[in-house]
Amino acid sequence: MPSTDPKQIAPILTQALPYIQRYSGKTIVIKYGGNAMTDENLKRSFARDVVLLKQVGINPVIVHGGGPQIGKLLEQIGKESHFIEGMRVTDSETMDVVQMVLGGLVNKQIVSDINQAGGRAIGLTGKDGNLIVAQKLELKSKAVEAQPSEIIDLGHVGKVKKINPGILKLLDNEKYIPVIAPVGVGEDGTSYNINADLVAGEMAAILGAERLLLLTNTPGVLDKKGNLLTGLDKRRIEALTDDGTIQGGMLPKLQCALDAIDSGTQSSCIIDGRVHHAVLLELLTDEGIGTLIRR
């Protein structure tokens, strides 16, 4: 159990002061997912982190995933999940489930957790106020020998075309914490399931966020010996990708982080959501945690 000796707590609090001053009035976009969103103790610590940030004048914007929860409900109704290159094939029936889970069950649970911790959270999907205008994602198959690549139909899987941040600015003015489910709407009214990392990156860019935090189930970007890498930039990431150090699911996360930085976000960080109070440790301490990506 942590010590409650004031002589030990006071230096920790004063260490946070310059970071509170730095981030006060600034927006921090947090992609919330993985174990941090399913473990009860981690859920409570995340909610308290977010409320504390808002209380000291920092503006957190939460974008969440929910893939495992979608898969579980599909299994319960007897519908099999299919994935192509890591993306869920989403027909109309699956899209109904996606909206129920992301916009309903998961979103409202996060809102409740934050409110129970003393915050003022409001849940949204990208369909509210046309927050996320989407378009169908076209995935090209890999060309094989003489056969050209073809377009693979993933159904209602989309990408961000445009973000209209007006509703978020209204919520910020009223001191609310937005919690956003990554469901977008096409110009014809079609609903689309969008990767939460991509939505978080686009959201950070359009809001001019000071920092983008991506919570994962790993300590961050690791070298071939399993050591944590930090202080990465685009050139270093390209080198690590070319030599095979970075691969798999970490590649789209890093691309998302780089895209946000290219669009004006000051820095991005991939952090371990399995660590209690990971958000506060990254933002308000000298050491920080995870992998920092900067210009």
Hey, where are the domains in the chain?
24-191+202-238+247-283
Angle at 212 between CA 128 and CA 126, to 5 degrees: 10
CA distance 90 to 39: 27
> Would you say residue 124 has pLDDT above 60?
yes
Helix 250-262 to helix 234-242 angle, to the nearest 10 degrees?
A: 160
Architecture of domain 24-191+202-238+247-283: 3-Layer(aba) Sandwich (3.40)
Which residues have C-beta within 8 Å of that of residue 52, sequence separation ≥ 6?
Answer: 280
> Would you say residue 276 has pLDDT above 50?
yes
Question: What confidence category does residue 82 fall into, taking pLDDT thresholds of 50, 70 and 90?
Answer: confident
Question: What confidence category does residue 3 fall into, taking pLDDT thresholds of 50, 70 and 90?
Answer: low
Q: Mean of the pLDDT values across residues 35-46?
A: 90
Instruction: Give the pLDDT of residue 206.
Output: 94
Strands 158-163 and 191-193: unpaired
Name the pTM for this structure.
Answer: 0.91
Q: Mean of the pLDDT values across residues 102-114?
A: 96
What region, left, alpha or beta, does residue 86 occupy, with left being phi > 0 and alpha being psi -120 to 50 degrees? left
Q: Name the least confident of 67-76, 107-116, 133-142.
A: 133-142
Instruction: Give the pLDDT of residue 1.
Output: 44
Q: Mean of the pLDDT values across residues 113-125?
A: 97
Q: Which residues of 172-191 are buried (b: 16+ CB within 10 A; e: fewer)?
A: beeebbbbbbbbbbeeeeeb
Percentage of the chain beyond pLDDT 70 is 95
First to last CA, the chain: 39
Q: 61 pairs with which residues across the strands?
A: 29
Question: What confidence category does residue 145 fall into, taking pLDDT thresholds of 50, 70 and 90?
Answer: low
Max distance between CA atoms of the chain, in angstroms, equals 72
> Would you say residue 107 has pLDDT above 80?
yes
Residue 221 has phi, psi (to 5 degrees) of: -85, 125
Instruction: Give the pLDDT of residue 286.
Output: 82
> Would you say residue 140 has pLDDT above 70?
yes
For 204-247, the pLDDT digits (tens) are 999 999 999 999 888 889 888 888 988 898 899 999 988 888 88
> Would you say residue 148 has pLDDT above 70?
no
* pLDDT greater at residue 98 or residue 285: 98
Question: What confidence category does residue 55 fall into, taking pLDDT thresholds of 50, 70 and 90?
Answer: very high
For 170-185, give the secondary structure using H, E and C. HHHHCCCEEEEECEEE
Instruction: Give the pLDDT of residue 141.
Output: 65
Question: What confidence category does residue 116 fall into, taking pLDDT thresholds of 50, 70 and 90?
Answer: very high
Q: Name the least confident of 67-71, 139-143, 157-161.
A: 139-143
For 150-184, the pLDDT digits (tens) are 788 889 999 999 999 999 999 988 999 999 999 99
Q: Mean of the pLDDT values across residues 17-37?
A: 92
Collapsed DSSP state (helix, strand, coil) of residue 201: helix
| Residue 37, token pair as written in the block | 């969103």
* pLDDT greater at residue 12 or residue 44: 44
